[in-house]
Amino acid sequence: MSAEKDASGSGLRRVCVIGLGHIGLPTASVLATAGVHVIGVDVDPRIVEVINSGNIHIQEQDLDVLVRAAVLSGQLRATCQVEEADAFLIAVPTPFREGYAPDLTAVQDAVRAVLRVIRKGNLVILESTCPVGTTEALVAAPLEEQGYKVGTDVFVAYCPERVLPGRVLKELVDNDRVIGGMTPNCTVRATELYRKFVRGQCHITGCRTAELVKLAENAYRDANIAFANEMSMVCAEMGIDVWELIGLANRHPRVSILRPGPGVGGHCIAVDPWFIVSRAPTTARLIRKAREVNIEKAHWTVERIMRAARGLERPTIAVLGVAYKADVDDVRESPALEIARALKARQVGRIVIVDPHVSEVPGFEILPLSRAIAEADIVAVMVPHRAFRPLPPLDGKKLLDFCGLTSEVPDA
């Protein structure tokens, strides 16, 4: 069978998912549930051991049930080595280095591993968020250098994930997907794989457009959050209640100001805009400025807490929430965690942390909510976890609510 004919066939029975983190593991489990034999690959032996025992190393609704069933059925197996497969799906981290330059080391390592086992007719999909041109330069080009013709011998595509933590399994299936192949044949082959589990629409485009779509989505969200965060600082300067302001402004039929917070975290919104800036440093001015505003909001939050601590002798400050958003355990790029670290570094007092989803933060005491508030002089609310509602009586303690937990403003 020719490679071109196989591109529209059903030869995607064995898939190797590289990277078993917040996206890779749910994707592997969903594929396995759809009847695909999945080899999950991760560089961390501990993660591999946990998954092969039918357990999970991350917090995500219903993921434990799906992984356990997939492992017990033999449809999912984890390993530290990339193995032969019909398709390779790369979902490894892409953080940034100092100066916000993209760090694509994990992608390069994954591609090198794939090159050792790839065969004609195979499909390689990059899901990791990357700067525009990454799929072409780091996936397609090395394959061409090995003598494979992309679109005929092997197939390469980029397909970004677009899911919400806490709803990943549902959104992997129900959300639309943007699929960008290096050639039309590549797009056909990639779409065939996603059609095995995606109920949403598969939107076809070019590879570079698909890369930028993901970045644009998160840069858009970052800019809107930056407006809310900047407005909260303006309100503080003018002595105005930002939560009342937003509630009233949002009564306008075409206005929907988001809820401000102590900054922006997570592996997407806090990172992806820099990938646009890295490729268009003089043009992406608004995108850069939004990032700077959201970074500054964390510094501003530290100063507000420091101001509240003046006149108190070594106060106890309870930081409520260190995950990057409500009701998840993910602390990647968390502004709340960085604020707690900054306060500790300044030796403003005793810093204790309360977070029902995070069991350990090196260097910090983690206390139950009631005890932390009982012992605190200052209560700084960073993340509106459901478990914090309603707050226990504060009995005159200083309350600094940076996320609107105690306000009446609904989530946008």
Q: Which residues are catalytic?
A: 214, 268
Residue that has been written with the tokens 């503080």 in this structure: 236
Q: In what order do the strands lie in the sheet with 350-354?
A: 365-366, 350-354, 316-320, 378-381, 398-401
Instruction: For residue 171, count CB atoms less than 10 angstroms from its CB and return exposed for 0-12, middle for 13-18, buried for 19 or more.
Output: middle
Distance CA 397, CA 84 (A): 61
Residue 220: count of CB within 10 angstroms of its CB:
14
**Nearest CA among 172, 138, 177, 129 for reference residue 156:** 138
Distance CA 133, CA 139 (A): 10
**Residue type (1 letter), 81:** Q
Residue that has been written with the tokens 């800036």 in this structure: 277
Tokens of 202: 């598969």
**Nearest CA among 352, 343, 350, 385 for reference residue 371:** 352
Distance CA 187, CA 184 (A): 5
CB 304 within 8 A of CB 400: yes
Residue that has been written with the tokens 């589990």 in this structure: 197
